[in-house]
Amino acid sequence: MKIQFLGAAGEVTGSRHSVELTLGGRKTRFMVDFGMFQGGREATAKNLEPLPFSPKEIDFVVLTHAHIDHSGLLPRLCAQGFLGPIYCTDASFELLKILLPDSAHLQHSDVDRAERRQKAGKWRGELPVALYSMEEAELALAQCEVLAYGKQIELCKGINLEFQNAGHILGSAIAILDITEDQSKKKRCVFSGDIGMKGRLLMPNPAIISQADVVIVESTYGDRLHKTLADTEAELIQVVTSTMNTHGNIVIPAFAVGRTQEILFLLIDLVRRNLLPHLSIWVDSPMATAATHLTQHFFAQLDQESQSTFEWFKNNPSAVDLRFIADVDESKALNKIKGGAIIISASGMCDAGRIVHHLKNNLPRAQNAIVITGFQAYGSLGRRLVDKATKVRLFGEEVPVRASIHTIGGLSAHADQAGLLEWLQGFEVAPQSVFVVHGEPEASAVLGEVIREELGWKNVIIPERLHTYAC
C-alpha cells in the first residue's frame, strides 16, 4: 500500500491524500479528503495543478469533514471525470450542501469583480479563475453517500470503512479504514481528519481509537497549548459586562460554520449560569443562520452539556433575545442600535460580508467593543484591528478606530499539542508508522519530535507534498 500526500503537507490547507493498493489483482485508488488550498497566489496555482493520475482512476473518496480545505475541490474532481461515491457523515453532507455552492458563488463573484475592475483600468496582473460552477458543485453533492458514525461498511472486497466522531465541527469524522491487500495481512489505517479540543463547547470529545497500523494525524497546533475554557469565559464575561455597563455595542466577527454556534452557546450558557445578564444577540449572516439551524437539527450529535444548555434555552426563551437577520434591510436597521446589542456576523477575518458594515458603523464610537475570536491572517482587516490600527479604510472611506478591540483566545476547534498527544496515547500499541500532516512546518516538526520522545514511537514521518510513501 502506498500513500501520496497531495496537500496539507507542510501547510494547513489542501488536505488530500491518495491511497493506492492492489486488490484482487487490480490496482485500486482512493482519496481521503479533497480540499482546496487557501491563501494567496501560490494556493491558486496548486488548486489548478493537474493530479499526478487521472481522476477516473479514483474508485471512491472518503471525506472527514465539510470544511472547504478538506472538501473544496470535490466539484472540480467530479467535473474532471471522477464518477465514484464520496463517503461522508449525514451532518457533513448537509454542511456541504451549504458550503460547496457558496464556494462556487464566491469564486464567480471574485472573477466578476476583477473583470469589472479590469475594464475600468483598475486591475493589474492576472485575473482570478473560478475552479468550478454552481452546477458542478451540485453534481458533486449527487455523488455523496452518507455513513453514520460507528457503522462499518464494506466499500469493496478488501476495504472496510468506519467513521468515529472527531469532535472538530458538526459531522467531523476520524476515518478508520481496514484494508486487506493481496498477499498481505489486514492493516488498519486511521486518518484523524481535524481533531477537536477535548472538553470544549458543542462538540463531543474526539473518539479514542485503540488500534492502528498506520496513523495520519493533523498538527495545526502541534507546537502550542490553548488557553483554558475557564480563562476564555472570564475574558468574555469581562468584555460583555463592561461594554453593557457603558451602553455600547459588541461586534463579534465569526466564521459562519462552527465559531458562530460556539459563541452563541457560550453566551447562552453564561446567562444560564447567571454569569451574564439578559442579552440581546443578533446573528447577521445567512450562512451562519443556516449552520445554526443545522446544529439544532443534529442536536443528538452535540456533547451532553451543550444539549442541556440548549434544552434550558428552549424552556427559557426570554433569557436571551436571540434574532437571526433575514435580509439586507433588516441588517441595515441594526445601524440604528446605539447600545446594548451583541452582533455576530461573518466573515470571520472581517474582509467581506455584512461584518464590514457593522464595523464601519461601530468602530468610531469608544463605548463599543470588537471581540476577535478566531485566527486573523496577515493582511486581513481583522489582523489590522488586532495590530491596533487607529484608522481603517472601509468602502472607500476612512473610519477611525475608537472602539476597544479584544482578542478572546481559546475557542479553537483544533486540539492543542496536549490534546493531540492524549488522542495518540489512545493507541494501545505503537502504530507501525505515523504521518504528521496539516500543520505549518514548525508545528508538524515539533509534534513529530514530541511523539518520538514522549510516546517512544519510532517511525514518525513528516511527509513532503507530492511524495509517495510505502506502508
Q: Which stretch binds Zn ion (CB under 5 A): 44-52, 147-155, 190-198, 220-228?
A: 190-198
Q: Which stretch binds Zn ion (CB under 5 A): 191-199, 243-251, 345-353, 418-426?
A: 191-199
Q: Rounded to the nearest whole angstrom, what is the least distance from the CB of residue 243 to Zn ion in the complex?
A: 31
Q: Rounded to the nearest whole angstrom, what is the least distance from the CB of residue 33 to Zn ion in the complex?
A: 10
Asked if 162 touches Zn ion (CB under 5 A), the answer is no
Q: Rounded to the nearest whole angstrom, what is the least distance from the CB of residue 259 to Zn ion in the complex?
A: 11
What is d(CA 439, CA 9) in angstroms, rounded to the nearest whole number? 7
The alpha carbon dihedral of 327, 336, 394, 239 has a sign of negative
> Which residue's CB is nearer to Zn ion, number 67 or number 188?
67
Q: Rounded to the nearest whole angstrom, what is the least distance from the CB of residue 373 to Zn ion in the complex?
A: 16
> Which residue's CB is nearer to Zn ion, number 258 or number 382?
258
Looking up cell 483554558 gives 228
Q: Which stretch binds Zn ion (CB under 5 A): 65-73, 159-167, 337-345, 354-362?
A: 65-73
> Which residue's CB is nearer to Zn ion, number 67 or number 384?
67
Q: Rounded to the nearest whole angstrom, what is the least distance from the CB of residue 65 to Zn ion in the complex?
A: 6
> Which residue's CB is nearer to Zn ion, number 94 or number 194?
194
Binding mask 446-465 for Zn ion (x = CB under 5 A): --------------------
Rounding to the nearest 10 degrees, give the CA dihedral for residues 249, 250, 251, 257: -130
Q: Rounded to the nearest whole angstrom, what is the least distance from the CB of residue 360 to Zn ion in the complex?
A: 30
Q: Which stretch binds Zn ion (CB under 5 A): 59-67, 130-138, 291-299, 357-365?
A: 59-67
Q: Among 53, 73, 51, which residue's Cα sits nearest to residue 132?
A: 73
Binds Zn ion (CB under 5 A): choice among 11, 194, 218, 223: 194
Q: Which stretch binds Zn ion (CB under 5 A): 82-90, 148-156, 192-200, 308-316?
A: 192-200
Q: Return the C-alpha cell found at 156.
A: 469493496
Q: Return the C-alpha cell found at 14.
A: 489542501
> Which residue's CB is nearer to Zn ion, number 207 or number 267?
207
Pairing state between β 159-165 and 152-156: antiparallel
Q: Which stretch binds Zn ion (CB under 5 A): 60-68, 349-357, 373-381, 436-444?
A: 60-68
Q: Which stretch binds Zn ion (CB under 5 A): 61-69, 202-210, 288-296, 420-428?
A: 61-69
Q: Rounded to the nearest whole angstrom, what is the least distance from the CB of residue 90 to Zn ion in the complex?
A: 17
Q: Rounded to the nearest whole angstrom, what is the least distance from the CB of residue 224 to Zn ion in the complex?
A: 17
Q: Which stretch binds Zn ion (CB under 5 A): 194-202, 224-232, 235-243, 314-322?
A: 194-202
Within its chain, how far is the Cα of 130 from the centroid?
21
Q: Rounded to the nearest whole angstrom, what is the least distance from the CB of residue 169 to Zn ion in the complex?
A: 6
> Which residue's CB is nearer to Zn ion, number 64 or number 292?
64
Looking up cell 476495504 gives 159
Q: Rounded to the nearest whole angstrom, what is the least distance from the CB of residue 444 to Zn ion in the complex?
A: 16
Size of the site for Zn ion (CB under 5 A): 2
Residues 164-183 that bind Zn ion (CB under 5 A): none
> Which residue's CB is nearer to Zn ion, number 282 or number 423?
423
Asked if residue 116 lies in contact with residue 56, where contact means CB atoms within 8 angstroms, the answer is no
> Which residue's CB is nearer to Zn ion, number 194 or number 223?
194
Q: Return the C-alpha cell found at 359.
A: 464595523
Binds Zn ion (CB under 5 A): choice among 16, 17, 46, 67: 67
Residues whose CB falls within 8 Å of the CB of residue 344, separated by 6 or more in sequence, listed in order: 252, 254, 260, 263, 264, 281, 282, 283, 284, 285, 288
> Which residue's CB is nearer to Zn ion, number 130 or number 166?
166
What is d(CA 17, CA 214) in angstroms, rounded to the nearest whole number? 13
Q: Which stretch binds Zn ion (CB under 5 A): 189-197, 243-251, 255-263, 422-430?
A: 189-197
Q: Rounded to the nearest whole angstrom, what is the least distance from the CB of residue 411 to Zn ion in the complex?
A: 14
> Which residue's CB is nearer to Zn ion, number 28 or number 444?
444
Q: Rounded to the nearest whole angstrom, what is the least distance from the CB of residue 86 to Zn ion in the complex?
A: 17
Q: Among 358, 350, 364, which residue's Cα sits nearest to residue 284?
A: 358
Q: Tell me which residues touch Zn ion (CB under 5 A).
A: 67, 194
